[in-house]
Structure 1
Amino acid sequence: MGAIARRLPFHYGWLIVVVAIVANTITGGAMFWTTSVYVPAISEDFGVGRTVVVAAFMIGQTVFALAGPFVGRYIDQNGAVRVIRLSVFVAPAALVLTSFAEAPWQLFIGWSIASVGRTFIMPIPFNWVMTRWFEGRRRQTALGLVTVGFGLGGATLLPLYKVLEERTDWHTTMLVSGIAVLAIQVIAALLVRNHPADIGLRPVVSADERRLDDLPAIEWGLSAPQSLRTPAFWLMSTGLMLFFIGQGSITTLAIDFFDSRNVTAGAAALSIAALIRTVARVPIGIALGRVTRVYALAVVVILSQGVGGAFGPMLEPLLITRTFGVRHYGAVSGSQQMVTTGGQVFGTIGGAALYDLLGSYTLPFLIYSAGVGVGAGLVALCGMIAMRPVHQARLLTSGRSDTAS
């Protein structure tokens, strides 16, 4: 692999970025965006209400959230490559088996297993790899670009899966998605390495930070237990949870919302929105290397919603690395994932339940919007606390203090 890396006209780290983008595209399309296609289709197939189907997917989200801290801690200790190789088997097999479900309980079990496999792919493993292959401002850029794949899944695969479901059924759609996840994870398992030193390379740094390349890599940062004891962690996690409740719940329920309003092009509208966000993520991801006022940017992004959709997935890794460092990124990110993703469970199930009760999505969508405003305020408070001397002193004892806000 080292010989191949040295023949490339660019640093091998950027090839890993491309692999991560494609993996996030296919996995995000298969295990996030397609749920909006599955909800009405499975509801009609099984003859049950929306709440039952949404609950099955949200239990999967709960499993995904609970598995995060354990997967993250394992990655911190052993690297991401082992987990990525394991993902070749778990998520694809679970999707294929779930595609044969004929009752809600089978969907519950199958999607829960698939959600465990999802933690082996996104977002922690590839984000963790970015923190090792890139330094300084290039790290921010790489983390931003990797999230482009998530939006691409909605922009490119959602309409394809919707057409496939209409021409066949949801069973075939899920089967195809499982095969697609298998294919990209095999490629990822072959190409990704934990550290550039594994193939005789140095991390990627910008020209004006080249001095960092001459120094030993210092993976500084607070541990997960240390982070959990800070107010910054809970303010950040709760604020992002409220933001993602709105983003995630509306996305999951969007096609059913359009159907309830007799809008036949719901999937097309959702995919166009995802395409706009994806196109916006590319220049935003590149520009992240120049951003210093991360917390102020996060507040603007959350309040904007539309722009926030383009930038939203970038917030978590950017805020975590700025506030808690990278040494224990996996465990800290997994702990935050448990909070942010766990909250989405109740938001989406609550929205589906209110629809079954009222026959309208107006009230839940208004609640989601109000939560976004509260979330922005909490992230602003997080930024204030993170820049206080007490928090900075903790970073100093862990190896580094970053005074940019």
Structure 2
Amino acid sequence: MNIVQTRPFGQRYAFVVVAVIFLALLISAGLRSAPGVLMLPLEDAFGWRRDTISVAAAIGIFLYGLAGPFAAALMDRVGLRRTLLGALALMSLSTAASLFMTEAWHLVMTWGIFSGIGSGAVASVLGATIVNRWFKTNRGLMMGLMSASSATGMLVFLPAMAALAQSGGWKPVVIAVSVAMAALLPLVYFLVPERPASIGLTRYGATEDEPHVAPKGNFILLTLGTLRQAARTRVFWYLFATFFVCGFTTNGLVGTHLIAYCGDMGIPEVQAASLLALMGVFDLIGTTLSGWLTDRFDPRKLLGIYYGIRGLALIYLPFSGFSATSLTIFAIFYGLDWIATVPPTLRLSNEAFGDRSGPLVFGWIVAGHQVGAATAAFFGGYLRELQGDYVLAFQIAGMTAIVAAVLSMLIGPTRQQEALAQPA
């Protein structure tokens, strides 16, 4: 008897795994978005300047991206479930520790360094690893769903966190985030196997799978060696540069500073957070649709369209008047495009570097995304303090997105011959 037929759900158990990881990405992204809500309450409670708080947010975002490729290699070495459980525990504990902070460097350590490292394992590289391990078909659609969960989580939790901050200050937000992260631990432990073969299954849509061979050698050297070889290809640098802009224009600037920008324009925190939540709803639609489109159309052209729309939206925002109608229009268009770039970027990475190395290379590309986000998180706060408003920051971000649209169209057709060789 086929062993797949003896298991509950059969190959469809892959969707159970996706559901758990979707939730983990959703809540982890809520943690990464919390500094945007905490900026004004921390400013009031401790007297810290926005550029000081932005430094902690920028460090967290940077390490969130830098930890990604190492986490991908660690998942292959010591196991996905162990890596994920350790990351969730680290995020919960570091967030809880911030309840006792009294100095700005405490914020940097808890919300910057430790939560940044932990959240790097619960990010796009996790989604890419799950999709490659559990799916032979429908990868674009599944990656679109995973990507949407990450970005949507960052946005849909904002109104609740903003309401907590408005009614009780910064501490209730910290407690809620810490408890939510801890609640994920039993779900991951009991419902997420290491890989399909661990429960006698094959990937969804596959009749048989190649046996997994764990890489040998130091995982840090493997990660750096993969980067060294990927960096020899032109496609890597195009993808790295465009994803840098992606991070710069989304969670780095908009995710970190839009609530504060709206506050400068006289819009209350909860109302501004609701605007981001609306983006999250449309992001879920747009990014899942992007995954479906990625399975069917040229990913380079999709990226060009996405970045072009994003650039125009950012250039428009400072001149929108910040009326309810104009902000709603911005939220819908920007939400549809928020992280729609992930599925086509992952597809190009897999095509260029192969299924095995693709997620690890994608981890380095995501690191570029987070370097861009960290740059924008600090850059936005610095320009706000320097000029007294956010206008120039959003204008510059819009222009970088237009540049990314052009770069996307310059990516040549990927060839399997250029696939990354496994480091020795």
TM-score relative to the length of structure 1: 0.87
Query: Which deviates more, 20-29 or 275-284?
Result: 275-284
Residue 384 of structure 2 corresponds to 355
Cα pair distance change 1:127/1:159, threshold 3 Å: same
CA distance in 1, matches of 2:131, 2:103: 40
Larger mean CA deviation between 349-358 and 147-156 belongs to: 147-156
Question: Is the contact made by 2:124 and 2:363 (CA closer than 8 Å) also made in structure 1?
Answer: no
**Alignment-derived partner of residue 252 in structure 1:** 256
Distance 1:397 1:244, change over 3 A: closer
* 2:132 is the counterpart of 1:126: no
Tell me the amino acid that sits aligned with residue 48 of structure 2: V
Amino acid of the structure 2 residue aligned with 1:303: G
2:272 pairs with 1:266:
yes
Cα RMSD, aligned residues only: 2.5
Percent of matched pairs sharing the same residue: 21
Please give the per-residue CA displacement for 1:152-207, whole angstroms capped at 9, x wherever unaligned. Answer: 314531111111111111122112111101112331132112321110011111xx
- Relative to structure 1, the CA distance from residue 5 to residue 310 in structure 2 (aligned partners, 3 Å threshold; closer, same or farther) is farther
Q: Is the 8 A contact 1:61 1:115 kept in 2?
A: yes
Q: Distance in 2 between matches of 1:315 and 1:169?
A: 40
Cα offsets for 1:108-160 (capped at 9, x unmatched): 11121111111222222232021011013x22222111122123314531111
Instruction: Map 1:143-154; keep pairs closer than 5 Å.
Output: 143-154=143-154
Matches within 5 A, 1:281-296: 281-285=287-291, 287-288=292-293, 290-296=295-301
CA deviation map 1:205-264 (0-9, x unaligned): 1xxxxxx52464799xx9443212111101111111112201121221000000001122
Mapping of residues 314-325 of structure 1, within 5 Å? 314-325=343-354
- Alpha-carbon separation, structure 1, partners of 2:67 and 2:183: 24
In the other structure, the counterpart of 1:308 is: 337
The reply on whether 1:375 has 2:376 as its aligned counterpart is no
In the alignment, the residues of structure 2 paired with residue 19 and residue 396 of structure 1 have an alpha-carbon distance, to the nearest angstrom, of 31
- Code of the residue aligned with 2:418 in structure 1: it is R
Provide the rounded CA distance (Å) in 2 between the counterparts of 1:301 and 1:322.
20
What CA distance in whole angstroms lies between the structure 2 residues aligned with 1:9 and 1:72? 26
Rounded to whole Å, the distance in 2 between the matches of 1:396 and 1:368 is 32
Separation of aligned partners in 2, 1:50 and 1:113: 21
| Aligned equivalents of 1:27, 1:190: Cα separation in 2 | 19
User: What secondary structure, in the 3-state scheme, does the structure 2 residue paired with 1:55 have?
Assistant: helix
Does residue 299 of the first structure (1) align with residue 304 of the second (2)?
A: yes
Relative to structure 2, which stretch is displaced further, 313-322 or 260-269? 313-322
Tell me which amino acid in the other structure corresponds to 1:40.
L
The count of aligned residue pairs is 381
- In structure 2, C-alpha distance between the alignment counterparts of 1:242 and 1:63, rounded to whole Å: 17
Write the deviation string for residues 55-109 of structure 1: whole angstroms up to 9, x where unpaired: 1111122222332232222223343222012124211101111132222110011
Over 3 Å counting, the alpha-carbon distance change for 1:72 and 1:94 in structure 2 is same
CA distance in 1, matches of 2:151, 2:286: 10
Contact 1:143 1:318 in 2 (8 A): no
Q: Distance in 2 between matches of 1:100 and 1:290?
A: 48
Where does 1:375-394 land on structure 2 (aligned, <5 Å)? 375-382=404-411, 384=412, 386-387=413-414, 391-394=415-418
How far has the Cα of 1:316 moved from its partner? 3.9
Say whether the 8 Å CA contact 1:299–1:379 is kept in structure 2.
yes
Please state how far the C-alpha of 1:13 moved relative to its aligned partner: 0.3
Q: Once the 2 structures are TM-superposed, how far is the Cα of residue 23 of structure 1 from its aligned partner?
A: 0.9
Q: Please list every run of at least 4 consecutive aligned residues from structure 1 whose deviation after the TM superposition is greater than 4 angstroms.
A: 2-5
Distance of 2:121 and 2:242 partners within structure 1: 25
Q: Cα gap change, 1:215/1:120 in structure 2, threshold over 3 Å: closer, same or farther?
A: closer
Q: Relative to 1, partners in 2 of residues 1:130 and 1:247: Cα closer, same or farther, differing over 3 Å? A: same
Matched-pair contact (CA < 8 Å) for 1:155–1:271:
yes
Cα displacement (A) at 1:288? 4.2
Distance across 2 between alignment mates of 1:329 and 1:74? 15
Contact 1:223 1:327 in 2 (8 A): no
The equivalent residue for 1:346 is: 375
- Does the CA contact (< 8 Å) of 1:72 and 1:332 recur in 2? no
* Residue in structure 1 matched with residue 356 of structure 2 by the alignment: 327
Q: Distance in 1 between matches of 2:199 and 2:125?
A: 22
Equivalent-residue separation in structure 2 for 1:244 and 1:274 (angstroms)? 16
